[in-house]
Amino acid sequence: MPAACIVNSLKFFGRGDWVMARRRIGQEALRLGDAGAKRGPGALDDIAGMIDWLEIDQDLSPIYRSASGEKSWPPLAMVKALLLSVWYDLSDVKLAEALDDRASFRRFCGFAASEPTPERTAFVRFRKELVRHGLDTVLFEAVTRQLDEKNVMVKTGTLVDATIIASASITKDEEARWVGHRRKAAVHGYTAHVATDADGGIVRRIEMTPANVNDGRMLGAVLPPDPGNVHADLAYASSRNEILIRDAGGSSRLPGRALWGGAEALEKLEAWNREVGHVRRRIEKVFGTWKRSYGLRRMRWIGLAKAGLQVRLTAIAFNLTRTRNILRERMA
């Protein structure tokens, strides 16, 4: 039975409460699946098979606990739909249209060929529920944990960096802040503080702040346990961060600042900074993909909590795609 069919009209979770009645979807999934099988599995089929989605569905159990009201769409199907909106850079309107029209989208989310799919407003309501229960962090950690078990992360080191993302509205988003960046124009928005594995391939930790929060202050918030060699840029170079890295069991590969000692000492410093900078720059490919391919050049929604949701959904989508590519390379 497809994962999407597991959720019945009423389901008891063993904690004394009943959840809102949920729609049953995917009743004709076999027919839809046969149509897709003729051309072989695609990227979405590969990704669907990589994750234990039932475990993810259990993490979504706090959503829709009311015993009355209109039947809700299964949360797991909605999460998968939001991932599709990231991969294909779709607005809610375009996502609703594509989910109604494309067989591969229906199959990934668990909808059969002839049944209705969510309308635009359903995605708006569902995002509010995710934010209200803080489930974006739960989802990110749950998916990352499963990918970790596939041994696709290079754990010999950690790359740390931050990227500024413009707010959805300069006038309406009161939680965003202005920040100047070197010789570039000031930006009103948020900063995503990110830690990846040593190859810059899998995102491991994320924290969101208004854009005016200094990058170096957030190292402790994103540093994973046993980080190995920690690479970051000059904004993180401080004695405080050196201590944080050492206390976490890691080794600092932070760049150095100007020092006394003449030309020979300066030459050694520059060589060190080139070496560690070459490794650190791998993380920039992550930010490039987020902004170039996944539409994260600007926030879609207003507020820090929703900004965190958008970034974590983007990181989940990125990690799933990256893991698929790594596994395919291993099999080649």
Same domain? 185 vs 310: yes
Same domain for 115 and 169, yes or no, is no
pLDDT attached to residue 39: 43
To which residue do tokens 């890691």 refer? 250
Q: Given the structure tokens 């124009």, which residue do they identify?
A: 185
- Divide the 332 residues of the chain into consecutive groups of 10 and give the mean pLDDT of each group: 43 43 63 44 90 96 67 94 98 97 96 94 96 97 95 92 97 97 89 94 96 97 96 96 97 89 88 96 97 96 98 98 94 82
Do 127 and 225 lie in a common domain?
no
H helices of 62-102, in order, are 75-87, 92-101
Domain boundary among 133, 162, 193: 133
Q: Are residues 111 and 232 in the same domain?
A: no
pTM, two decimal places: 0.88
Its domain, for residue 94, covers 3-133
Domains: count for the chain: 2
Q: Are 160 and 299 in the same domain?
A: yes
CA–CA dist 158, 290 (Å, integer) = 19
Q: According to the model, what pLDDT value does residue 20 have?
A: 52
Cite the DSSP H helix spans in 197-238.
Answer: 219-222
Clarify whether residues 301 and 159 are in a common domain.
yes
- CATH number for the domain including 256? 3.30.420
Does residue 148 belong to any structural domain of this protein? Answer: no
Compute how many other C-beta atoms are within 10 angstroms of the C-beta atom of residue 201.
21
In one-letter notation, the amino acid at residue 65 is R
Domain identity same for 158 and 304: yes
**d(C-alpha 233, C-alpha 216), whole Å:** 9
Statement to judge: residues 21 and 120 lie in one domain: yes
Alpha helices in 22-157 (DSSP H): 29-37, 43-50, 53-59, 75-87, 92-101, 103-109, 120-132, 135-148
In a domain, 175, yes or no: yes
314 located within any domain: yes
pLDDT (0 to 100) of residue 2: 47
In a domain, 141, yes or no: no
Give how far Cα 279 sits from Cα of 151, 162, 190, 232, 246, Å. 21, 15, 25, 9, 19
**Would you say residue 146 lies in a domain?**
no
Domain boundary among 133, 161, 190: 133
Spatial distance between the Cα atoms of 314 and 289, rounded to a whole number of angstroms: 10
> What's the one-letter identity of residue 175?
E
Residue 251 lies in a domain: yes
Residue 142 lies in a domain: no
User: Shortest CA distance to 107 belongs to which of 4, 9, 38?
Assistant: 4
80 located within any domain: yes
> Are 116 and 161 part of one and the same domain?
no
Q: Round the CA-based radius of gyration of the chain to a whole number and report it.
A: 22
Closest CA to 233 of 332, 163, 155, 307: 163
Give the CA distances from residue 304 to residues 172, 220, 301, in Å, rounded to whole numbers and listed in that order. 12, 20, 9
The pLDDT, as a whole number, for residue 117 is 97
